[in-house]
């Protein structure tokens, strides 16, 4: 049915569009109000990290250093978001 349809590529592009829309929202908010909500910045960071983690299929190629570095980053972004 979906012969030749790249699900991973479509998900990659979809998440990239979401990230760009969030970035556009941050820029317009800054231009209008001259400040940016930390919640929106954390949300943008979480979506970017999810994009990186979902698209990366082979977790062994990342290495333990990268995974160990991403763990506190995800925790801090989640803490800021809540």
- What is the per-residue pLDDT for 32? 93
3-state secondary structure 50-68: HHHHHHCCCHHHCCHHHHH
CA atoms within 13 A of residue 59's CA, in its CB half-sphere = 6
pLDDT at 5 over 60: yes
CA distance to 25, 48, 53, per residue, from 6 (Å): 29, 20, 17
Give per-residue pLDDT as tens, 6-65.
777 888 888 889 889 989 989 998 999 988 888 888 888 888 877 777 776 567 777 888
pLDDT at 81 over 80: no
Q: What's the CA gap between 17 and 58, in Å, rounded?
A: 23
């Amino acid at each position: 049915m979906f012969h030749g349809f790249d699900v991973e590529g479509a998900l990659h592009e979809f998440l990239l569009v979401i990230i760009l829309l969030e970035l556009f929202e941050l820029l317009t908010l800054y231009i209008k109000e001259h400040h940016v909500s930390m919640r929106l910045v954390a949300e943008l960071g979480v979506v970017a990290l999810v994009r990186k983690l979902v698209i990366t299929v082979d977790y062994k190629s990342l290495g333990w250093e990268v995974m160990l570095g991403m763990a506190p980053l995800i925790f801090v972004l989640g803490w800021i978001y809540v």
